[in-house]
Structure 1
Amino acid sequence: MKFVIQRDRLVQSVQDVMKAITSRTTIPILTGIKIIATDEGVSLTGSDSDISIESFIPKEEDEDVIVDIKQPGSIVIQAKFFSEIVKKLPLETVEIEVIGSFQTVIRSGKSEFNLIGLDPDEYPHLPQIEDGKVFKVPTDLLKTMIRQTVFAVSTSETRPVLTGVNWQVGNNELICIATDSHRLALRKAAIETDSDAHYNVVIPGKSLSELSKILDDTTEPIEIVITENQVLFKAKHLLFFSRLLEGNYPDTSRLIPTDSKTAITLNAKEFLHVIDRASLLAREGRNNVVKLTTVGDDLIEISSNSPEIGKVIEQIKSQLIEGEELKISFSAKYMMDALKALEDTEIHVYFTGAMRPFVIRPIHNDSILQLILPVRTY
């Protein structure tokens, strides 16, 4: 194998596939990047057996030659060293050549590295996914949907299925739901599907976070293929595979209250800043609790009390308070996460009592909601 490649493109592809590589793998070859050079271009693959990423660098693009293939072939190179080396090479082009038994030479200018490669035939094959059930989502919408839900997945392995985001596809709609059983984030969007396509799968939160980091902010559609135990995201020159989580995701629709006893309309940004300030004294104590109390027709009081540190009280004006008076306590962190995900300036918060879950929705957008369980403080 021998080829010359633009360094910037190589560095970008290496960074992308590195997101799938972990040093904690029990399969030694998976600490490497697999490189395959063909007459079409160069592909790089990284995998930790849960996530696999393949990045393709075409021979030329827009009449610009990116790779000059002198001799096709393949090799697996230690990812940690390879990624550090290519970032620091002196020239804009890099030559990579495999000589003898997997000896790999990396040249750029007067710099030359010799790395001991591994046998590419030992590298596990990527999952074979038939292009059967495909649906498309604009890349920027997909990134937004991930950002607005993935933070609410569980970090505890006691119920592994909750460490993922539940994707429900049907009737030309994608619904993403994440919950750690103390809060829930839901986002839905209209998408292009085959009219009879129906899926209900759970994608690991970690996989979605890594995918989101790699994708560009474009309106280009990304193809999504779901099989029994894998999901494949196909972007331009990028394949991202993730295993699906096993087990049944809980029916969260029963958690979301349909009525409310108290409804508040607020400016989200202002509310976020008030919660943030109140949480300054709550961080030390048990799970960061703040209290919300309605005062009259248009005031809300946010307070926090740490016996060893002190207390904070701040009032914020509400556009509207409807229904019963209310005192409720909740995690400041959960509320701040929810408000950051909503993006909208005006929100409704619907309460059904001091110990019942409450719902936050943007005023003009019913495609997203956040739900939080209150905290008992007495």
Structure 2
Amino acid sequence: MKLTLTKEDLNKGLQTIAKIAQSKTNNLQSSNGFLLKALHNVIEIQANDYEMGIKTIVPGIIEEPGETFIANPYLIELIHKLPSDSVQLCKKDTDTKLLIIGGSVKFECATMNISDFNEVEIVESGYAQFTTNSIILKDLIDHTSFACSTNTERPIFMGTHLDVEKNRINMVATDTHRLALKTYMSETPITTPIKVTIPSRLLMEISRNLPIDIPEPVTITAVRNYLAIRFSNVYIKTRLIEGEYPKYERVIPKDFQCTVTTDRAAFTSAVERVSLVVQNPQYNLIKFSFSQNQIKLMSRHPDYGVVEDLVACDMTGEDLTISFNSKYILDLLKHCHEEKIIINLRTQSPVLIKDKDDSSCVFVVTPMREK
């Protein structure tokens, strides 16, 4: 095998598969690593950790075709730091070393038996398939995945749920204390509904690789126990979480005692200040008192005192006092983007928060009781 690539193209390809290639303990006894394949005028890099497989195509010159399996924790960083703009990769069929040359640097990298690598299988069809674009998909993921649980005892809540029916694409995540729902209406209806739950750790890896400079077409294919995502020169296959996702629509409140409109930045700053002094950092409890012209925020610590702050607002409905975990409130506020937000409330019921002029994304947080 003899290849010549630009450092930029090779580095971009390696960064695409890096987290999967290095997701286990990196040592030469591990099946961890990546496959470099130069056959049929195509240079491919792929990694597979059995939960997710990624395959990407990189441009380059193939002087001699070949393939090699590399499990070296230093290689990706070394390629990134090479002093030249061009990289040459050479390996004789009988060698167990891959020679990497970049400017003044030569690196003889140990390789592994190719038969030990589990190649990423490309699937062209499944029981359902739809197409969106990279910016929309990233938006769906980034507005929801943060709300997932980290509790391994309830694995279904460690995933983000994709619910596609006709023209509606819903992505939702919850840890049972908070919920994030993002909706996109597609111009093209899907004929077969999709209801799958994707591990959020893997979904964030997909988001990391999605191009956002310009919208690239993304094809999503649902197979029995995994999802396949294809965009530009990247193919990703991710396992799904087994089990039925809860009926999330039922926990989204619809009847409210009061509706509050306030400035997002001012409200966020007030929550940040007041949450600095809380009795129990595990729960970050803040009391919110909503009235016609203002929101009063209050937290207390038995040893360090009481903090209060006021934020102006417009309100319709009844005055109301309720407590929430400030971390959950701050997390969702990071995903609101308009100048004004709407807060919908009912006594001792979940709050619904959204941007004033955008109903495509809603956030729900359950209240806390003061002890």
How would you bin the TM-score normalised by the shorter chain? over 0.9
Which of 353, 362, 366 is 1:369 aligned to? 362
Question: What residue in structure 2 maps to residue 117 of structure 1?
Answer: 111
Whole-angstrom distance in 2 between the partners of 1:68 and 1:209: 32
The answer to whether the 8 Å contact 1:152/1:185 transfers is yes
Which of 194, 197, 201 is 1:202 aligned to? 197
Whole-angstrom distance in 2 between the partners of 1:119 and 1:169: 42
The answer to whether the 8 Å contact 1:30/1:46 transfers is no
**Is 1:16 matched with 2:16?**
yes
Q: Using the TM superposition, name which of 191-200 and 231-240 deviates more.
A: 191-200
- State the Cα distance separating 1:125 from its structure 2 match: 2.5
**Is 1:349 matched with 2:349?**
no
Question: How do 1:172-321 residues align onto structure 2 when only pairs under 5 Å count?
Answer: 172-217=167-212, 218-282=214-278, 285-295=281-291, 297-318=292-313, 320-321=314-315
SS at match of 1:161: helix
Q: Please list the CA deviations of residues 209-256 of structure 1 after superposition, one character each: whole Å capped at 9, or x if unmatched.
A: 111112221212211111111111111111121111111111111111
Instruction: Give the direction of change, closer, same or farther, for the CA distance of 1:7–1:182 in structure 2 (3 Å limit).
Output: same
Whole-angstrom distance in 1 between the partners of 2:364 and 2:16: 34
TM value normalised by structure 2: 0.94
**Is 1:90 matched with 2:86?**
no
Whole-angstrom distance in 1 between the partners of 2:274 and 2:84: 52
Whole-angstrom distance in 2 between the partners of 1:119 and 1:107: 22
The answer to whether the 8 Å contact 1:18/1:79 transfers is no
Question: What residue in structure 1 maps to residue 149 of structure 2?
Answer: 154
- State the Cα distance separating 1:270 from its structure 2 match: 1.3
Q: Which amino acid aligns with 2:91?
A: V
Whole-angstrom distance in 2 between the partners of 1:213 and 1:290: 33
Whole-angstrom distance in 1 between the partners of 2:3 and 2:78: 17
Q: Which amino acid aligns with 2:173?
A: A
- State the Cα distance separating 1:310 from its structure 2 match: 2.0
Instruction: Give the direction of change, closer, same or farther, for the CA distance of 1:86–1:26 in structure 2 (3 Å limit).
Output: closer
Whole-angstrom distance in 1 between the partners of 2:216 and 2:106: 39
Question: What residue in structure 2 maps to residue 336 of structure 1?
Answer: 330
Whole-angstrom distance in 2 between the partners of 1:164 and 1:129: 23
Whole-angstrom distance in 2 between the partners of 1:281 and 1:311: 7
The answer to whether the 8 Å contact 2:26/2:71 transfers is no
**Is 1:32 matched with 2:26?**
no
SS at match of 1:342: coil
SS at match of 2:358: coil
The answer to whether the 8 Å contact 2:46/2:119 transfers is no
The answer to whether the 8 Å contact 2:180/2:362 transfers is yes
Whole-angstrom distance in 1 between the partners of 2:10 and 2:305: 54
Q: Which amino acid aligns with 2:350?
A: P
Which of 149, 158, 168 is 2:163 aligned to? 168
Instruction: Give the direction of change, closer, same or farther, for the CA distance of 1:145–1:357 in structure 2 (3 Å limit).
Output: same
Whole-angstrom distance in 1 between the partners of 2:28 and 2:180: 35
SS at match of 1:341: coil
- State the Cα distance separating 1:192 from its structure 2 match: 5.0
Whole-angstrom distance in 2 between the partners of 1:13 and 1:330: 44
The answer to whether the 8 Å contact 1:137/1:192 transfers is no
Whole-angstrom distance in 2 between the partners of 1:79 and 1:55: 19
Whole-angstrom distance in 2 between the partners of 1:30 and 1:236: 28
Whole-angstrom distance in 1 between the partners of 2:27 and 2:227: 23
Instruction: Give the direction of change, closer, same or farther, for the CA distance of 1:26–1:12 in structure 2 (3 Å limit).
Output: closer
Question: What residue in structure 2 maps to residue 64 of structure 1?
Answer: none
Instruction: Give the direction of change, closer, same or farther, for the CA distance of 1:236–1:300 in structure 2 (3 Å limit).
Output: same
- State the Cα distance separating 1:194 from its structure 2 match: 4.9
TM value normalised by structure 1: 0.92
Size of the alignment, in residue pairs?
A: 367
Whole-angstrom distance in 2 between the partners of 1:232 and 1:155: 24
Question: How do 1:136-155 residues align onto structure 2 when only pairs under 5 Å count?
Answer: 136-155=131-150
